[in-house]
Amino acid sequence: MNADKLQPWLQTELLQHIQLLLYSFHHWTGTELISTSDRQTPLEIAKLLFNADFVLVSHGTQADPVLNYGNQRALNLWKMDWQTFISTPSRYTAEPIERSDREKLLAQAKTQGYISDYRGIRIASNGDRFYINQAIIWNVVDPEGKLCGQAATFRDWETI
């Protein structure tokens, strides 16, 4: 099995996406998502982010956005493998009853650039429900300001 199958988050296009996640987070919040040095390669940074002690997820700009990144904490929390995760419409991370609130939240983040201190209910692939607490949601943009998607991060969640 090649490295792309074992660690698909290390593919070139995802390394570039991870750089946009970090750039955008700093652009909107003025803070760093993770502490890095100029000597670290994109590959080293990607490994740090994938194994971070917080959840990080993102989705694209499709009409029905599909998840395009989740670190190990996210995969564990939503109880999915990488391939399943990145082929899941992001709306499925919330229960149907919660989806309209989620859509309003994403629209607000899209308008403002980011929102912080969000709390909401999410659902894992096996039906487990959990609150996410103090989440930050931001627009993923490139250095020219082009919208590339949205991302969210949080450290705190609790099972319902």
**pLDDT score, position 1:** 37
Domains of the chain, each with CATH number or no CATH: 3-159 (3.30.450.20)
CA quadruple 34, 40, 43, 47: dihedral sign: negative
**pLDDT score, position 33:** 96
Tens of pLDDT along the chain (160 residues)? 344 566 877 788 899 999 999 999 999 999 999 988 878 999 999 999 999 999 999 999 999 999 999 999 999 999 999 999 999 999 999 877 777 777 787 788 888 889 998 899 999 999 999 999 999 999 999 999 999 999 999 999 999 9
Residue 101, amino acid: D
**pLDDT score, position 102:** 76
Q: Phi and psi at residue 15, in whole multiples of 5°?
A: -60, -40
DSSP state of 90: G
**pLDDT score, position 111:** 83
